[in-house]
Every structure is written in C-alpha cells, then in structure tokens.
Structure 1
Amino acid sequence: MAEEKKELDEEIQALKADLAALRSDVSELASTMRDMGRDKANDWRSSMQDEWSERRDELMRALGVARDRGRQAEEDFERNVSEHPWTSLATAFGVGFLIAKIMDMGGRR
C-alpha cells in the first residue's frame, strides 16, 4: 500500500511537471503568435504607407503636368487673340450668335 501511494505521488508529481511545462509552452506560443501578428501588422502598415506615398507623388506630378498644360493653353490663346484680334472678335460674335439661336429654338418647342 505504501508503495502504491509512493507511485501515485510520483505520477502526480510527473503530471504537475508536465502541466508546468505545458503552461510554459502555451505561454511561449502565445507570445510568439502575438509577436508574429505585430510584425505582420507593421509590415502591412509600412506597405500601405509606401503605397499611399507613391500614389500621392503620382497625383502631384499629374497636377503639375495639368497646371503646365493649362498655362501653356492660356498663353497660346492670348497670343492668338493678340495676333488676330479681328478674327477673334468675329469668331466670338459668331459663336455667341449660334448659342443664342439654339437657345431660342429650344424655347419655341
């Protein structure tokens, strides 16, 4: 009987040791998973910030190109008007007349 109690106590002690090891392993696994999740989140955040920065730079370049083209078109228009003032005046009058006629026809229906 004493020997059975001794064996039972040894088995209980072994189970306690196994449970302590299991707790330690689970704690280590949870810590590793948390670190991996944090690393993945940081990688994703960094990737998104890089993508955002790249798209913003592309947009700024496109705005610069559009602004330059607009200025060039304005300069070309001003140069054409100053080189051909009478033609520009006649064209503006003709376009205005056509718009007025189109609007007048829409009101008659």
Structure 2
Amino acid sequence: MATRNLDQELDTLRADLGKIRDDIASLARTLGDAATAEAKAGGARINEAAHAAKDRAQRFAESARTQGEDSIAALEERIEQNPITSILVAFGVGLVIGKLLDR
C-alpha cells in the first residue's frame, strides 16, 4: 500500500514537473517575442531619427548652397561696380601671397 502511494506521488510529481517544463518553455517564448517586438520598435525609432537627420542635413546643405551663390553674386556685382579697385585689390593680394611663398 505504501508503494502504491509512493507510485502515485511519483506520477503526480512527474506530471507537475512536465507542467513546470511547459510553463518555462511558454515563458521563454513569450520573453523572446517581447524582445523581438522591442527590438523592432527600437529599429523603427532609429530609422525615424536617421531620416530626420538626413532631412536636416539636406536643408542645411541647400541653405549653405543658396548663401554661397548669393555671396558670389554680391561679389560679382561689387567687382562690376568697381573694376579698377577690384583689380588693384587682386594684385595686392597676389603680391602678398607671392612674398609669403618666397620665404
């Protein structure tokens, strides 16, 4: 009779261990799914930030290009308005650079 109780308890213990094993496997799958979802969300946030940074860089490059073109146009206009002064300034700058390079 004691052997029968012991056998029943062992069977119950085996069944409980099987349930625990199944619960642990289910928990591992759930944690894996949650980690995958979080990684995907993080990737999406990084992608959005990279896209925003690219847009800002493009706007900055366009602004710099526009300012550069405006500066060149203003310089050309000043040269056209004062051609002799421009030639003398260019000659002076060339002379100074030539002297510096001779050393």
* TM-score of the two chains, using structure 1 as the length reference: 0.89
Distance 1:23 1:50 in 2: 41
Between Structure 1 and Structure 2, how many residues are aligned? 103
How far apart in 1 are the matches of 2:61 and 2:100? 36
d(CA) in 2 for partners of 1:53 and 1:102? 47
Letter of the 2:65 partner, please give it.
R
Q: Which residue number in structure 2 is paired with residue 76 of structure 1?
A: 74
The partner residue of 2:64 within 62, 66, 70 is 66
TM-aligned CA deviation for residue 65 of structure 1: 0.6
Asked if 1:43 is matched to 2:41, the reply is yes
AA partner of residue 20 (structure 1): G
**Which of 8, 15, 18 is the aligned partner of 1:17?**
15
Output the amino acid matched with 1:93.
F
Structure 2: 5+ residue stretches without partners: none
For the aligned residue pairs, the C-alpha RMSD in angstroms reads 1.0
Structure 1 unaligned spans of 5+ = none
CA distance, structure 2, for counterparts of residue 28 and residue 103 of structure 1: 78
SS at match of 1:88: helix
> Letter of the aligned partner of 1:70 in structure 2?
G
Q: Displacement, 1:103? A: 2.2
